[in-house]
Amino acid sequence: MGYLDNLIINTDNYKHCHYPLYPPGTEYVSSYIESRGGAFPVTMFVGLQAYLREYLMRPITLEDIDEAEFVVREQGMHFNRENWMGILNDYDGYLPVEIEAVPEGTVLPASNVLVQLINTDPKYWWVTSFFETALLRAVWYPTTIGTVSWLSKQVIKEALHRTSDHPELLRFMLHDYGARGVSSQQSAALGGLAHLVNFNQSDTVPGILAAKRYYNAGKVSNSGPNSEHAGFCAWGRDGEAAAMRNMLETMAPDGCALLLTDTYDHENAVKNIIGKELNDQIRNFPGLVGIRPDSGDPVQVTADTTEWLMDAFGYETNSKGFKVLPPFIRTVQGDGVTFTSLRAIFIEMERRGLSAENAVFGMGGGLLQHWNRDTMNFGQKANAVRVNGEWRDIAKSPTGSTFKLSKKGRLALKYENGEYSTVARDSIPPEQNVLKPVFRNGKLLKKWDFTEVIANSEREVPESYYIDIVGPMRAADNGAVAAVV
């Protein structure tokens, strides 16, 4: 959909009438982006570099200006051709703005500045806010998905800590199956790469490609042979065991086979076909066999399936007193797994004495699609202007919505004694400002490698960042908690 890439019309129509609304003599406009709080106490910042490289490092052309003028005037909206011809001639089509941002992958409390931008030429004071629509979208979506994924990681980390001897499994326990559940290929790319900051598992190919294209990622993901109902149904109800046997034989060289068990009767498939008829073949399979229910209550079906497999294949008890399936077989739960149900699943497994490592998980729409800008109340707001050589700190303060109170003045992000805080820019030395320039006048000033992004995301953080999320897992009466969740 390259016809949507014209930067001048990658915005709301009304943005074209804003340039004359500033006070006469306006020279510079500063604005910033933050999560103003919401569903989650923290943000894991990621995705800005993809936008910078895909859009702001691509100059506008005369053809872009001509197209935009036609489209915008057709809507009855202002269009200042002189503004855009000036950018084309003065800056070779690149936006005269400087953008500074938090290092990508950083996890920090909500309500802190993440991005700050300002025009670099007083002739183009209006440009700072002009591309807000695209810039805010480029930040809120991958950052929200990255945050959901990061908090899910803390849930899994807590479950492994409580019930498993193998914390090294963490990055392999949540698989991205969200490509079919999102609204666009671009969403799959941005959300998919955000998830890969936290986990090494994905079937969302656009996300893998985006991590490589925009962040120089190497091998970032693992997948394995999985089944779908079409192939199993084709064998007929009486051929369900034959369908599974065929897959085991076909995928043996790959060392992995994930068998769907709910094509007809999940309990019968697990207890009789897998547990009895195919028992020896599974025990002798040269790798991992995953047993994948794809319907039912995910909390109960994950635990039930794990117990039925233990009845058929046995188990060991680890050092923490929890049961663990033999290494050649695991439950694979992907249906109905969401940010909230994942925690409830682990609570139920622990209640039954089952180690968290008995199951691996997949998320689809619950990972990449069930969220919007208001989930974390993202906003971009002007915080300072310079008019006739005089700086003014500005902010909005609506009486009808206190959370929309914006920050005034040029900002900096301070990190001291393990805590982040947003402060006035001139209150700390520049070298202490966590915000770093990443873009200026069409040039990328800092290129984040995917390994750096991952390392930033895995820095130790205060427990307060996630205690509200994992707290129910530590409750004494886990059965009651699971019922409430």
pLDDT at 480: 43
Q: Break the chain into its structural domains and give their ranges.
A: 159-368
- Average pLDDT (248-267) is 95
260 token code pair:
């769907």
pTM of the entire structure? 0.95
Instruction: Report the mean per-residue pLDDT for the chain.
Output: 95
| pLDDT over 90 at 475, yes or no | no
Q: How far from chain centre, in Å, is Cα 82?
A: 39
pLDDT digits (tens, 9 = 90+) for 41-89: 999 999 999 999 999 999 999 999 999 999 999 999 999 999 999 999 9
pLDDT at 294: 86
Banded model confidence at residue 237, pLDDT cuts 50, 70, 90 = very high
pLDDT digits (tens, 9 = 90+) for 416-460: 999 999 999 999 999 999 999 999 999 999 999 999 999 999 999
For residue 294, say whether it is annotated as part of any ligand binding site.
Answer: yes
| pLDDT over 50 at 483, yes or no | no
- Average pLDDT (334-345) is 93
| pLDDT over 50 at 481, yes or no | no
pLDDT at 398: 87
| pLDDT over 60 at 7, yes or no | yes
> What SS3 class is residue 167?
helix
Q: Are 361 and 337 in contact (CB under 8 A)?
A: yes
Banded model confidence at residue 484, pLDDT cuts 50, 70, 90 = very low
Maximum Cα interatomic distance, the chain, rounded to a whole number of Å: 83
For residue 373, say whether it is annotated as part of any ligand binding site.
Answer: yes
Banded model confidence at residue 1, pLDDT cuts 50, 70, 90 = low
CA-CA-CA-CA torsion sign (448, 452, 456, 458): positive
For residue 365, say whether it is annotated as part of any ligand binding site.
Answer: yes
126 token code pair:
């209006």
For residue 292, say whether it is annotated as part of any ligand binding site.
Answer: yes
| pLDDT over 70 at 476, yes or no | no
For residue 165, say whether it is annotated as part of any ligand binding site.
Answer: no
CA angle 436, 199, 133 (to 5 degrees): 45
- What are the distances in angstroms from CA 72 to CA 9, 99, 249, 331, 429? 8, 27, 61, 55, 44
Q: Which of 157, 197, 145, 160 is nearest to 339 (CA)?
A: 145
Banded model confidence at residue 477, pLDDT cuts 50, 70, 90 = low
For residue 181, say whether it is annotated as part of any ligand binding site.
Answer: no
**CATH number of the domain at 159-368, please?**
3.20.20.70
For residue 254, say whether it is annotated as part of any ligand binding site.
Answer: no
Q: Are 134 and 51 in contact (CB under 8 A)?
A: yes
pLDDT digits (tens, 9 = 90+) for 111-163: 999 999 999 999 999 999 999 999 999 999 999 999 999 999 999 999 999 99
pLDDT at 383: 97
Give backbone dihedrals phi and psi of 134, rounded to 5 degrees, phi first. -75, -40
pLDDT at 485: 42
pLDDT digits (tens, 9 = 90+) for 269-317: 999 999 999 999 999 999 999 999 989 999 999 999 999 999 999 999 9
CA-CA-CA-CA torsion sign (465, 468, 469, 472): positive
